[in-house]
Amino acid sequence: DTSSLKNIKEIILNNLTLYFLPMVNPDGAELFQRENIYNIDINRDALALQTPEGRILMESFKKIKPEFSFNLHDQRILYSAGDTNNPATLSFLAPAFNKEKSINTKRENSMKVIGALYKVFSKYIPGCIARYSDELEPRAYGDIFQSMGSSTILIESGGSKNDTEKQFIRKLNFTAILTALYMIADNNYEDNELSLYEDIPYNGEKLF
């Protein structure tokens, strides 16, 4: 109801400072591909920083020094939620910060937020949530940001039946981000067990 929304808004605004960065790869979005117009995968440019967009992203991160980072992507619609015939409508990841996939406080916070989101969204899209394997990708911004001390939450938008324009998934994204911001502002994500994150099935290729 209206009073609840007002309360959520006030808690977020009173406890958080939010920064929004626009689309990092507009070339690729227009061309429906990962790479930009020069065939450089910007999401693998976190070390080389060959692209102006990648440099702006890194410079902004270093200036802001965010406690939490939301790493938002589209993914192909063919991934399945584990070994099921269900599409992975939303996929999450708390990126690793080293090859050993260690868990420090920052990564633990990412896992707890994602686990809480999994618990909430399993009511709305049961069996359609997955997570990525957490092998270290040192060229990726999510892994770099996690290693630089920001609790990073990857959200990928996959597929949903009869939703070719991903309008339903847009609503899920909005709700997921709002829910996560509220949990962070209120610190109630800390009460979640890490086992919730571990319960999320991996992205599968059952639909390929």
Q: Mind listing the pLDDT tens digit of every residue in the chain (208 residues)?
A: 677 878 999 999 999 999 999 899 999 989 989 999 999 999 999 999 999 999 999 999 999 999 999 999 999 899 999 999 999 999 999 999 999 999 999 999 999 999 999 999 999 999 999 999 999 999 999 999 999 999 999 999 999 989 989 999 999 999 999 999 999 999 999 999 999 999 999 999 998 8
Compute the distance between CA of residue 153 and CA of residue 96 in angstroms, rounded to an integer. 11
Give the CA diameter of the chain.
Answer: 49
Enumerate residues 6+ apart whose C-beta is below 8 A from 53: 24, 25, 36, 42
Q: Residue 1: what pLDDT?
A: 67
> Between helices 167-186 and 105-121, what is the axis angle to 10°?
130
Q: What is the pTM of this model?
A: 0.94
- Among 126, 139, 121, 29, smallest CA distance to 84 is for 126
Q: How many residues are listed for the chain in this entry?
A: 208
